[in-house]
């Protein structure tokens, strides 16, 4: 596996090694000791989640789970393609309010590690897209929250990869009502 630290410390783009032949390929998508050695993260993953989006331009996020059940996530896209985004909301962080993103596709097999203390979201670039992510804590409804995906202060460039059309965005009711960061009480203080 290759681990590339992105512009925000603690966020990694991970590329598993593929062993291919005329049938396709085999890869290890996760190995705890390799992950811990490369990232320093030894917190176990305790829950796996998968989402399915039937349409391109579906945005899920920007989501977080607050303490005491804050979640780190290891995200991959086994079918389709997404622009995956992490936003630092750790109070006191030098990169507070900054974002990084990565193109995750079934073809490139890239994964993004998003630590606890970050907003996370993705935009689907193709119909029939699946996203799978491992979490470091269990889902807790009382700790669930979100921030507006299109917050102008965050200035996330969702269209930096081809195929996303913000004028055609598909949102859940929850995400459509998400507050802007300036109107939000940060639970990571």
Active-site positions? 63, 133
Planar angle of CA 157, 6, 128, nearest 5 degrees: 55
CA distance 106 to 96: 30
Peptide bond into 41 cis (omega under 30): no
CA distance 153 to 131: 27
Q: How far apart are the first and last CA of the chain?
A: 34
């Amino acid at each position: 596996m290759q681990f590339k630290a992105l512009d925000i410390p603690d966020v990694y783009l991970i590329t598993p090694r593929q062993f291919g032949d005329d049938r396709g390929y085999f890869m290890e998508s996760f190995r705890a000791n390799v992950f811990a050695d490369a990232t320093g993260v030894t917190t176990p993953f305790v829950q796996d989640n998968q989402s399915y989006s039937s349409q391109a331009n579906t945005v899920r996020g920007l989501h977080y789970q607050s303490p005491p059940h804050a979640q780190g996530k290891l995200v991959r896209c086994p079918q389709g393609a997404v622009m995956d985004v992490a936003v630092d909301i750790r109070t006191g962080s030098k990169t507070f309010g900054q974002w990084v993103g990565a193109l995750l596709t079934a073809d490139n097999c890239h994964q993004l590690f998003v630590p606890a203390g970050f907003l996370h979201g993705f935009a689907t670039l193709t119909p029939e897209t699946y996203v799978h992510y491992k979490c470091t804590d269990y889902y807790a409804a009382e700790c669930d929250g979100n921030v507006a995906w299109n917050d102008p202060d965050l200035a996330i460039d969702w269209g930096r990869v081809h195929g996303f059309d913000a004028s055609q965005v598909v949102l859940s009711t929850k995400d459509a009502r998400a507050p802007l960061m300036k109107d939000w009480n940060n639970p990571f203080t």
